[in-house]
Amino acid sequence: MNIAPAFTSALADFDELILKQGGELSRRLQKHRLDSFPPDAKKTLRSFQLSEAASYLGISSGHLKNLSLEGKGPQPAVTSTGRRSYTAAQMLEMRHWLDRNGRSDVKKYVPHRRGTEHLQIIAVVNFKGGSGKTTTAAHLGQHLALTGHRVLAIDLDPQASLSALHGFQPEVDRDESLYEALRYDDHRKPLSVLIKATNLPGLDIVPAALELQEFEYDTPLILAEKGTRDLGRVFFTRLDSALAEVQDRYDVVVLDCPPQLGYLTLTALSSATAVLITVHPQMLDVMSMCQFLLMLGEILNPIKRGGGNMNLDWFRYLVTRFEPGDGPQAQMVDFMRVIFGGFVLKNEMLKSTAISDAGITKQTLYEVERSQLTRSTYDRAMESLHSVNGEITSLVHQAWGRT
């Protein structure tokens, strides 16, 4: 289809032109989606090499190999060359086996909440697109699940990028979103019926859909409508109420917030026990974050006065898409550390073609075989992910009073 500009008349009917271009782009994207991931396709997950499995389980490779040789625990697949690999389901089974049969009375291989430890709700936010927010949320949720936590990811962004990374296609699947558990009318549904299993054991998701945007329209109408103002004033408690039904099933909830300060983001922040703000270390991005922080503080203050809970277990900034060899970026990171001190995570999420290449096929790096990418690039990106997500996991455990 030829839609090259004709300078004599192209701008005369701008509305028709952008409709035509939008339609063509939509058709091409839909074809690409269908070619790469058919509507009836089910997302699968690779197996993990023995060294990877041992790392996630928190034991040495030698110990795991010995367990295999002794026939203890689930048995891995073994190639003709003797290489061993475990599925994610086997890793979870092995974790429980180790917890039952491990020699240490101190170390717990199953890190589920115990006693009075409360549900950790982590809101991943930023005002500006391109900060790596969804990439961060996706990899964090998967890392927590791979290390034995029970995780619920909730996609609050109507663009549904987090959902797509987990194999859900809102334009095809027509899955219901969190809106069904937040809505103000009599059609409100329990959160449990909206939860979907993913291809990773221990990780569930509530996919997003365009209908989430309706919450942004409904809330101000409810606030203004006589007789329903009280209902509207406590819009920020609706996610808490929804989560109460399923909180015993999970250790951590990861909220991927939309890149705007709307009612969805405010509801998420009001329910959160922890907040992670992603920031790309460039001047324009930091300036945008400055406005985000000022606006957020001004908006949250009246919510606090109205009874909203603004107490957090922890709050951190995460530097994303960081290029250590870029002088201005390194200076910006130093600048942030001077201002925010310990509120900036010690580890940065490095910019990597490995992560972006995985995203092309709607995968995270955890789902990609090492052999599919340049090994040095893969290893560098994976090390960065492990460092960042390991630091966040430590914050979760500290909030539970663990050392």
Single-letter amino acid code for the residue at 27 = R
Mean pLDDT for the chain overall: 89
Reported as a pLDDT band with limits 50, 70 and 90, residue 10 is very low
Checking if the pLDDT of 381 tops 60, the result is yes
Written as six digits, the tokens of 203 are 């990780």
Give all strands of the β-sheet with 84-86 in edge-to-edge order.
48-49, 84-86, 77-78
What are the tokens at 387? 């460092």
For 29-61, the pLDDT digits (tens) are 777 766 766 666 678 899 999 999 999 999 999
Q: Which of 7-21, 105-119, 266-280 has the highest mean pLDDT?
A: 266-280
Q: Distance between CA atoms of 15 and 116, rounded to whole angstroms? A: 58
Name the residue with tokens 């914050």.
395
120-399 is a CATH 3.20.20.80 domain: no
- At 243, is the pLDDT very low, low, confident or very high (cuts 50, 70, 90)? very high
Domain range annotation of the chain: 48-101, 120-399
- In this prediction, residues 211-222 reach a mean pLDDT of 92
List Cβ neighbours of 74 (8 Å cut-off, separation of 6 or more): 86, 90, 93, 94, 97
- Mean of pLDDT values over 249-270: 94
* 74-88 pLDDT per residue, tens: 999 999 999 999 999
Instruction: Say what the pLDDT of residue 2 is.
Output: 53
Task: Name the fold adopted by 48-101.
Answer: Multidrug-efflux Transporter Regulator; Chain: A; Domain 2 (1.10.1660)
Length reported for the chain: 403
Report the pLDDT averaged over residues 380-386. 96
pTM value is 0.90
Query: Which range among 65-69, 248-252, 291-295, 393-397 shows the weakest confidence by mean pLDDT?
Result: 291-295
